[in-house]
Every structure is written in C-alpha cells, then in structure tokens.
Amino acid sequence: MSRSFPSFYFYPKKVTEETKRIYNLYKNAGEASNFMKRKELPKLIEEIRKLPYQEPVLKEYAEKLISLEISILSSEYPYELSNEEHFLDKVVIVLTHSYNRIVGSRFWGHLHVIPEDKHVHQMLSVVFKEEDPHFLSLRSDIRKEYNQIFSKPAGDVLRLIAERLGSLPQPLEENFEKWMVQEGSRLERMLWILILGKFMSRKGFLEHQNLKRITEVLDTFNPDTYKKLIIPYLQSNDFQNFKSELMKQLIGRLGDPRETTKKWRSVPGNAVKKVKSWLYKYDLFQFLDSERFKYWEKYVPNIKALNFEQNPPMAAMEFDRFVVLEFGNTGNAAYFYEVEGFNTYILPKFSITNVEGDLKDKEAHFYIHKLSHISNRGRPTWYNTFDDYMEHFMKGDFKYRKSSSGGWRR
C-alpha cells in the first residue's frame, strides 16, 4: 500500500524577523564607532591635559581606562593638537600602562604616516618589548633587529633602520617587504632618501639593486632632493664606473652639461667634469671602431671638447692645446692641429663640406702632424707610436718627431 504525503515547506518567520532586526541595529556600526570617537576623544584629551606630568598619577589614570578608550587614544593619535608641552609625553605614559595589542598595531601604522615622530618611536619601543614573537608576522631575525633598533634613542630610529636595510645584499624593495615597510608610505619614502643618500656612493651597493627600480624612485624626487642623492654618487665614483641607467636619467633631468649649464649650477665642478667625460666616452664608443676606441678611451679624462660630423664621419677631440681629428672611415690618418687655428679655420668647415680632403691641411700654420693606424698581423702596433707623440704633445712639444731608428728628433 503506497502512501503519498503533501509537500511541506518551512518558513522560519521568527528567525527571519530577528535577523532583520539585528541587521538594522548594527548596519551603521561604523558610523556609530566614528561618532563614539568624536564624542569620547575630546573628553579623554581634556582629562589627560589636566593631569600633572607625574608617572604615578598617569599610571593610576591608565588603569581605569576601558578598551574602547585605549583604542580611541591609540587610533586617533596625534590628535591635531598644537604643540602643548608634555601632553604627548603623558599620552605615551598612559598608553604604556594600559597597553594592549591594538596599541601596537595602531602605532606601527602611525610610523608609516609620521615616521619622524619621536613619540611614535617611544611607543614602538614599548610595543617591541611587550609583544609576542608573532607580532606583525616578522621573521625572528628581523624581529630581533627591530627590538635592538627601538631600544635606542628615538632620534636614531630611522637612521638605524636605513643603515640596516642598506647594508643587506638584496634589492631594497625585497627588504622593505620582509621588514613590513608598506609600499607607497611616507616611511618608505623617508627610508629611500636616507638609504640612497648614504649608500649610493658606496662601492658594491648598486650591484645588489634593481637599477630600474632605483631610477623610478629617483624620478619621484624634486630637483633639490634628486641632486642631494646623485651628487655623492658622482663624486665618489670614477666616471668609467658610472651606471648607464643612472647617467641617462641624469642627462634627462638636468640636460647635457656640454650644451646647457642652467640646471647644473649647484653641482660641483669635479662632478660635472666626470659627467662630461662619461658623455665623451659614450659618444666615442658609438663613433669609433673597437680598435681605435680602446686606444682613445684612456685619454677621455683629458678631453675638453668633442665635435662630430656625419658626412663625412669625423670626430675632433680637443685637448688643452691641440686637437686630434679622427675620421670614421678606416684608412685615414689622425690629424693633429693646434687648438686656436683648428677652431678658427677647420671646425667651421664641418657643416659645409663632405670631402675629407678639405679637412686635411698639412700646409696650415697650425698643423702639427699626422699619424697612421698601422697594424701588424692584426696587432695595433700604432698604439706605441701614438703614445710617444701624445706624451710630447700633451706637454706642448709640437715639434717632436720620432726618427726611423727609434731616437728622437726635432
């Protein structure tokens, strides 16, 4: 015998109504919390203001605070107050004696917004003493580092963090993440400035860094801050070791110092000279074949000016008292001229002639000599000959000639 049962549907009317009631009661909980802060904070501030700056009194007051009041005091710091003497010192004492986990997390957040605030540093020294090893989910070795750093005087905290992070052999952005430094925060920006200011001039620092990221950060700074960071780097390094990424950015921001000096006025002369040498080297590398570039590279620091022409291809390297004219097409000798005569009679021809012979004037009163690039079985034997002549020409001895027997003659 079969039975059939009618369909049964359960409507939990009472449960549904209670759910709606609770939702409506607490749906504006966030607004209520903000309302509570606006209501309670002035009262708390006034109470602390009236208390004497005496630790026993402040400790007694702290012990009477409820969790909500502690949360408000730690969350709303620094209260947008004027610089009232000892008020924030009193707050530190109160929060120290009423400490709970929310105080620690709030002041770690404050460090990222107002990283130079000494009272934030003082509170964090309490935080790292009070909190268990799992606070911020830091690695144990990093937690120990922070414990040591925040045990030092408040004024040393940022410097010590920067020195530690800058000395680690990993890219800074990786270390920021491990040390729980929030990307884009004011703390991160301050640390970038401190670290780059101290470590960019140190040998080996940039070898561990992501240069693309370094240039991105440098681009965010105003001209004055940028110069303060890049000048030590320029002064402490030989131009041969300059990083091309940094130099291209530098030229992009300040311009080519060979063409304009307006933005370079606050840069020391020795640094500007190094930048020019780097540019001369870069230009010669682009222009000369590898054999000739390898030779002239060592004389780049002595070059005073460098002029190029594309048709015909040629480069004029100006030294103190003479100019060396190298042609781009192989098979041409290098011509040496006195500076004044060259700049007066030869240089103007660069833009009006495409004939190499027009620039080879052995009869000119300012002509010094010409030297060929002779190789023997692929070896550039001309290097030694050029060195002999360059040694004398650099001293102003333009009459020097090397005899076929190897002796000197004038």
Amino acid at 281: K
Cis peptide before 56 (omega within 30 of 0): no
User: In the chain, what is the straight-line distance between the N-terminal and C-terminal CA atoms, in Å?
Assistant: 136
Q: Where are the domains of the chain?
A: 288-410
315 in Cβ contact with 356 (< 8 Å)? no
pLDDT at 312: 87
- Bridge-based pairing of strands 313-318 and 322-327 is antiparallel
Cα Rg, the chain, nearest whole Å: 36
pTM attached to this predicted model = 0.80
- Bridge-based pairing of strands 305-310 and 334-338 is unpaired
What is d(CA 255, CA 275) in angstroms, rounded to the nearest whole number? 11
Say which residue the tokens 């041409």 belong to: 332
Successive 10-residue mean pLDDT values, the chain, 410 residues: 42 50 44 68 93 96 94 90 82 96 94 95 95 92 95 93 96 96 96 96 93 97 96 96 96 95 93 96 94 96 93 94 94 96 94 88 96 87 95 96 60
Note the Cα 83 to chain centre separation in Å: 34
312 in Cβ contact with 325 (< 8 Å)? no
pLDDT at 14: 53
What is d(CA 275, CA 94) in angstroms, rounded to the nearest whole number? 56
